[in-house]
Amino acid sequence: MSATTVPPQPDSSTVTKRVTSRGSKNGQHRRLGGWWLPYALLAPAILFELLIHIVPMATGVWVSFIKLTQIYLRNWGAAPFVGLGNYSVSLDFNSAIGKSLLNSFLVTCGFTVLVVGISWGLGMAAAVALQRAFRGRGLFRTLFLIPYAIPIYAGIITWKFMFQKDTGAVNHLLFDNLGLPGDKPFWLIGDNAFLAIVIVAIWRLWPFAFLMLMAGLQSVPQDVYEASAVDGAKPLRQWSSITLPMLRPVNVVLVLVMFLWTFNDFNTPFVLFGSTAQPPAGDLISFHIYNASFLTWNFGTGAAMSVLLLLFLLVVTSAYLLFVNRRSKRA
């Protein structure tokens, strides 16, 4: 019998070198081929952010330093540079432009406080009422979210018809059905315009507060409420001692978002009052800036007002976040 020939076996050091070399090459290939992937994924978002937000914002800041009127619309570069002239005109409260801007700012502040406060209160009450399971809870949740699901323009136009003097559903309900004394008021002109726009804005906003607070309440364990009830805590005490502290992270973000949305609200006055005939009582600042730019064709002054609004919102937001962070650290 012939002996079987056994091929020579490589020693362990040679195998280790081959495996190490092959692994290092594969790792190097992965590093060289994948370092650009995160940047490639971020590139579209950065590009659209520049085109949609940064570039228009920078253009608006530049326009605020020039006297851009209808004369220079075809050639912006020919518009004279006025420096801070547009800002001084906007902040001159002795002039007609400054007085109207100040009035619009004060109206917007009152509008924001009422809308955010009442919307948050309604949303909190509805979320707490629907926190525990009962028959028909899903139906009530759906009904409460209808104003948030309806398209903005469709909902506001419906309210516009409801606020008509002679044919509107509001006056028909109050004076024809309930028999209130007096003449039917005009809701969309005069001082009543402020009440009308507040009602419409609350109707639009409070379902969002309800949705966020309802979602936040899902993380609150029922065992805490049951234990507090055994200790004799009433519903109001449970709400103040358990619900509010547990919802604090949600409320911090919710109030800030509602404030920014409401203070910058343009759709509600634009659809409710029209593009030109805005009453002073419903002259919100975003709508005021639009009219100051596109009705008088003074885009430089309108851009300056927009920059001032941006600075105001940045200051308020920074102060709010600083206050919230300090309180969280103390707690």
pLDDT exceeds 60 at position 109: yes
pLDDT exceeds 80 at position 257: yes
Which residue range is the domain that position 166 belongs to? Answer: 104-297
pLDDT at residue number 131 = 84
How many CA atoms are closer than 13 Å to the CA of 88, on its beta-carbon side?
A: 7
pLDDT at residue number 21 = 52
pLDDT at residue number 311 = 94
Residues in the chain: 331
Where does the pLDDT of residue 32 fall: very low under 50, low under 70, confident under 90, or very high at 90 and above? very low
Note whether residue 69 is domain-resident.
no
pLDDT at residue number 224 = 82
pLDDT at residue number 245 = 86
Mean pLDDT of 131-138: 84
The proportion of the chain whose per-residue pLDDT surpasses 70, expressed as a percent, equals: 89
**Most trustworthy range by pLDDT among 33-42, 174-183, 316-325:** 316-325
Where does the pLDDT of residue 316 fall: very low under 50, low under 70, confident under 90, or very high at 90 and above? very high
Note whether residue 229 is domain-resident.
yes
Answer whether 206's CB lies under 8 Å from 165's CB. Answer: no
Q: In angstroms, rounded to a whole number, what is the distance separating the alpha carbons of residues 196 and 279?
A: 11
- H-type helices in the chain, by residue range? 12-34, 37-49, 55-63, 85-90, 96-129, 137-144, 146-149, 152-162, 169-171, 192-217, 222-230, 235-238, 244-246, 248-263, 267-273, 285-294, 299-330
How far from 87 is each of 64, 84, 307, 309, CA to CA, in Å?
Answer: 8, 5, 9, 11
The mean-pLDDT minimum among 118-122, 144-148, 193-197, 317-321 falls in: 144-148
pLDDT at residue number 310 = 93
Reduced to 3 DSSP states, what percent helix, strand and coil does the chain have, rounded to the nearest 5? 75, 0, 25
pLDDT exceeds 60 at position 68: yes
Note whether residue 322 is domain-resident.
no
Query: How many CB atoms are located within 10 Å of the residue 226 CB?
Result: 9
Mean pLDDT of 262-291: 87
Number of domains in the chain: 1
pLDDT exceeds 80 at position 22: no
pLDDT at residue number 1 = 43
pLDDT at residue number 211 = 93
pLDDT at residue number 320 = 94
Tokens 């005069």 sit at which residue? 190
Where does the pLDDT of residue 286 fall: very low under 50, low under 70, confident under 90, or very high at 90 and above? very high
Note whether residue 41 is domain-resident.
no
Note whether residue 12 is domain-resident.
no
The residue among 31 and 169 whose pLDDT is bigger is: 169
Token representation of residue 95: 């002039």
Where does the pLDDT of residue 2 fall: very low under 50, low under 70, confident under 90, or very high at 90 and above? very low
Tokens 């358990």 sit at which residue? 242
pLDDT exceeds 60 at position 294: yes
Predicted model pTM: 0.81
Note whether residue 202 is domain-resident.
yes
pLDDT at residue number 30 = 52
pLDDT single digits (tens) 82-103:
999 999 999 998 888 999 999 9
DSSP string, 204-266: HHHHHHHHHHHHHHTTS-HHHHHHHHHTT--HHHHIIIIIHHHTHHHHHHHHHHHHHHHHT--
Note whether residue 127 is domain-resident.
yes
Where does the pLDDT of residue 19 fall: very low under 50, low under 70, confident under 90, or very high at 90 and above? very low
**Average pLDDT over the chain, rounded to an integer:** 85
What CATH number is attached to the domain comprising 171? 1.10.3720.10
Q: In angstroms, rounded to a whole number, what is the distance separating the alpha carbons of residues 214 and 223?
A: 18
Direct distance between the N- and C-terminal alpha carbons of the chain, in angstroms, rounded to an integer: 90
The mean-pLDDT minimum among 31-40, 51-60, 61-70, 168-177 falls in: 31-40
Backbone angles phi, psi at 131, to 5 degrees: -70, -40
Where does the pLDDT of residue 277 fall: very low under 50, low under 70, confident under 90, or very high at 90 and above? low
pLDDT exceeds 50 at position 166: yes
pLDDT exceeds 60 at position 11: no
pLDDT exceeds 70 at position 12: no
pLDDT at residue number 171 = 87
Note whether residue 323 is domain-resident.
no
